[in-house]
Amino acid sequence: MRTRYLGSASATLFMLLAGCNVQDGSAQNQAAQGRSVGSASWEGNDTREQLRQAIEGRAAHGLDKMSFGDAAENDDQLTQQALAYARALARGATDPAKIYEVYTVPRPDPDLKQGLAAALRSGDVKGWLASLAPQDPAYARLSQAYLKLRQQPGAGADIPDAGEPIKPGASDPRLPTIVRQLVILDYLEPGAAQGDRYTPAMAEAVKAMQADYGMNADGVIGQEVLAILNMSDVDRARAFAVAMERMRWLERDPPATRIDVNLAAARLTYWRDGKQVDSRKVVVGEPDNETPQLGSPIFRLVANPTWTVPRSIQEEEIAGKGEGYMKANDMVWKDGWIVQQPGPKNSLGLVKFDMQNDHAIYLHDTPAKSLFGKIQRQRSHGCVRVEDALGFAEMLAREEGVLDEWRKARATGEETFVKLPRQIPVRMLYHTVLFDGGEPIVRNDPYGWDDEVGAALGFKAGKALRVRTDQADIGP
């Protein structure tokens, strides 16, 4: 599951639904598109002005730091400019397949040339362009939040550094703001602390955060802690622009029945016939073993799975441990591979959700239940561990009409495969902006993947703070 990327290194989860694609195609193909849009013409109406106004208003999509060409003078230039802006709205201004080493989440591919021709014939270029962006309410809220921040002067940090660290038991006027940020980041329950005194509950929350970021967990709020908690207006604006871009990458009409996994929040959401029916915690890949952004379906359930240990884990983490370790963990050699036998010690737990992809990534159970209690759950070798995986498997089996077969498979105690009547699409997504009460809030960026997208959109690099987690076991 070790996959390296080009990328650097509680609020209600909102798995963003709308989305788009990316600029693609050669310069020659784009030029060819520009030379002809059927029999439509830019003459005889105000479509030139509509295009100009639409591009001037690109800040509503977080695209104000990008250029879509100078003032066009002839029909070919106007067409090329319109198609370039249309691609940015309909598919994204960036290409995730070029930003990331692995990106296979489905993206739409509308016929923009035909769309522009129809818009020119109807005289409504501005309306057509507006229709290409995601229409989801979340996108509209991100747009409003971005425009509001863009209009505000200054970009100072919320929590100033007064020079002296805040120690447990002290009083400080900055503490209410610190509490708010700790709640947003899930380290503190709402209402757990009030006023300007640094309480023991706050200190425990700060210690947990310090541990996740590789600091000395002493509970003292100094420069390093403030660097994590602070979120300037510039940081927020960039996060909102990046979130809109990621929505433009996605399909406008995703499968009504699907599983979405937000890797940044380490949370799974199950949609059934267009309705969210389940949400639960997951453990995903740690930094440097990131879970890739995949579109990959579950095609079968595996009861009592065996685990064939990947060569990388075998050579880096098991080699030299001896036969005693192998026996204690129910591992045997088979055809030159280490295979862990079914049972409660198995690193896949008692169920595996087999998926079709080329990266050996799948969902599974785990014996390491304590990891679900962590705030930062980026702690695996790349696969996705599901909280109460047996309960989730039971749910899927029941709704897919194979519950009896699944229960019989479980009862065997041996590795047994139960094929699903239909495949269930899974999307591994990465969203650092979530929604609580309708307002967008910026969470942490555990993989640092906002940096590349933000840079491609014209933003300066963010503060690039990374979580630092040590794996608790050798599981996938």
* Distance, CA of 220 to CA of 379 (rounded, Å): 25
Identify the active-site residue in 20, 61, 364, 381: 364
CA-wise closest residue to 453 among 20, 5, 7? 7
The predicted-structure confidence for 72-97, as pLDDT tens digits, reads as follows 778 899 999 999 999 999 999 999 99
Whether 349 contacts 389, CB under 8 Å: yes
Residue 61 designated active-site: no
Tell me the backbone φ, ψ of residue 378, rounded to 5 degrees: -90, 85
Q: Is the pLDDT of residue 23 over 70?
A: no
Give how far Cα 114 sits from Cα of 288, 374, 384, Å: 43, 50, 41
pLDDT at 10: 36
pLDDT at 30: 43
How many alpha carbons fall within 13 Å on the CB side of residue 338?
24
Domains for the chain: give ranges and CATH numbers: 27-150 (no CATH), 254-306+342-429 (2.40.440.10)
CA-wise closest residue to 282 among 210, 138, 379, 154? 379
Q: Is the pLDDT of residue 20 over 50?
A: no
Q: Is the pLDDT of residue 225 over 80?
A: yes
Between β-strands 384-386 and 363-364, what pairing exists: parallel, antiparallel or unpaired?
parallel
State percent of the chain over pLDDT 70.
88
Give the residue carrying structure tokens 């952004």: 293
The predicted-structure confidence for 117-162, as pLDDT tens digits, reads as follows 999 999 999 999 999 999 999 999 999 999 998 887 554 457 888 7
Q: Is the pLDDT of residue 452 over 80?
A: yes
Instruction: Choose the weakest-confidence range: 152-166, 301-315, 390-404.
Output: 152-166
Instruction: Choose the weakest-confidence range: 7-21, 233-247, 361-375, 388-402.
Output: 7-21
pLDDT at 2: 39
Identify the active-site residue in 20, 61, 381, 383: 383
Residue 20 designated active-site: no
Whether 9 contacts 423, CB under 8 Å: no
Q: pTM value?
A: 0.85
Q: Is the pLDDT of residue 32 over 50?
A: no
Cα-Cα end-to-end distance for the chain: 7
